[in-house]
Structure 1
Amino acid sequence: MLDDLSRYLGSESTRQLIVDQLVQHVELALLPLVVGVALAIPLGWLAQRHPLLRTSLLGVANVVYTVPSLAFFVVIPGVIGTQILAPVNVIAALSVYTAALLVRPVVDALDAVPGHVIAAATAMGYRPLRRFLAVELPLAVPVLTAGVRVASVSNISLASVGALLGIGGLGALFTSGFQTSYLPPIIVGIVLVLALALVVDLVLVGLRRLLTPWARAGGAR
């Protein structure tokens, strides 16, 4: 097996192809993460403030996330008017998945903000939008980050399914390996997917620490 891996990775063209697929996989997985977070925060904010809307949004989010990813990738082109083999379909589908997955964590994160802190900000003259951006959202970061970490791992995994439609990414290593009954590309693909998930998770942990300096100060005491 090690000899097969060595021969497989010994080709410069193969290594370059793997790098290109890794870069494309990062785009397919992380762009939807950014878009999904941008969609989930205002939706979660609305759901957290309106009980009736909360029930509806959380219900819709749960239903959307149960739709099989491959079916979603096929349906999206008919909705946004693109070709089935366009990478934008995977990005759009994963953005919807990410938003659906993160609506509840956003609601839970905002619910976790202490009421007395919100009351104090209101007493200081903070209007709802400013209070949300300057007080509630920063305090919700620790809980919200946990949801984003789950969504990032989910996206990195689901982006591999796009290879079944010829989109590319690291999933192409799996399909080519299965089609030729050749294990090295499958092993390389698995290792890179796991490594990418680990790196992104560590980056998110570091970002959370950067955005919540008061948590480090509290821990130091």
Structure 2
Amino acid sequence: MSFRTWNRSFRGMSKYAGEEVLVVPRSLFDELGAFEGIRTEGLDGAIARLLDPTSHFFMDRAAAEDDPTHKQLIPYCVIRCGTRVLNYTRGKSGGESRLHALRSVGVGGHINPVDTGGGKTGPDAYQAAVERELEEELRFDVPHTNRIIALLNDDTNPVGQVHLGVVHLIEIESDAIHSNEDALADLTFTELEELNGPMFDRLETWSQFCVRHLAEG
């Protein structure tokens, strides 16, 4: 169970209710080679460093949201069926109020200790957390594949300055997927060409980066 589901029972508490999130030092990001937008070069090595248990740790989210000396690791899962990409409108029950009402092609969120089997870290714990997150937010009626295709960074706004996206490409053969979360409203599959065209300006910034990357092949 992800923290977002657990948190619904505690709406009267503070905004993050003591949530802890997985972070890496900004200094490590700079050491790996700071960038803006999508990065695919040297991906395997960068991912290995980021997911090394000695590189990341859990930090209080309330502190992390205002601390640009750390980057919160965010699995950002793009789900593709042929030439169509899953997209949705971020509802008010989502954890990041600054992104509400924007359309997104990314499913996922913060990694919490509860997601990793009691606070374990490392590549295996991370991948297990991502799969649990997907299964909680969506109901898959078909098999799916899951692979990391890029890193994603945007330091031009307050949200991006404290987050680092790990872009996963989830590929399926049928669009038999349904939302299990109120935060994922108006779930639909749309042709990549349309997302990269008429709908582009309606997408959140991270989604724009991903759509442009996929459209460029």
Shorter-chain TM band: under 0.3
Q: Structure 1 or 2: larger helix share?
A: 1
Q: Which has the larger radius of gyration?
A: 1
Q: Structure 1 or 2: larger strand share?
A: 2
TM-score, reference length from structure 1:
0.20
